[in-house]
């Protein structure tokens, strides 16, 4: 909340605040998606090697997972972004 107050105090517009929140959501979902895909690939190859099974990792499944991760990150980033953009600087400062 402190960063929001600082942003509001310097006169950021609602659009700027929404953009900042959405950029943060996109960064977090991108990092989580890349980490999840890497761990999934590693786990699949490790299990295949231990069990002696052949493995095929479909690139389309990885793209679908990345697209769904991006959609969820952006979708759930819109709500807090809208709430943060609608807070008045006076109200934000009164909660600190």
**Confidence class of residue 94 from pLDDT cuts 50, 70 and 90?**
low
pLDDT digits (tens, 9 = 90+) for 39-50: 988 998 999 999
Per domain, the residue ranges of the chain are 2-94
Q: Who has greater pLDDT, 2 or 34?
A: 34
Angle of helix 59-86 versus helix 14-51 axis, rounded to 10: 150
Q: Who has greater pLDDT, 27 or 12?
A: 27
Predicted TM-score of the model (pTM): 0.65
pLDDT digits (tens, 9 = 90+) for 83-93: 777 776 666 66
- Taking a C-beta distance cutoff of 8 angstroms, is the pair 65, 37 a contact? yes
Question: Mean pLDDT across the chain, nearest whole number?
Answer: 79
- Taking a C-beta distance cutoff of 8 angstroms, is the pair 14, 87 a contact? no
């Amino acid at each position: 909340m402190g960063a929001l107050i600082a942003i509001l105090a310097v006169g950021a517009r609602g659009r700027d605040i929404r953009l900042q929140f959405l950029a943060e959501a996109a960064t977090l979902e991108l990092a989580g998606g890349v980490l999840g895909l890497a761990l999934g690939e590693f786990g699949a190859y490790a299990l295949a090697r231990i069990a002696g099974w052949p493995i095929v990792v479909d690139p389309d499944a990885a793209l679908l997972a990345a697209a769904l991760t991006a959609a969820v990150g952006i979708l759930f980033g819109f709500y807090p972004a809208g709430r943060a953009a609608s807070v008045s600087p006076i109200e934000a400062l009164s909660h600190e």
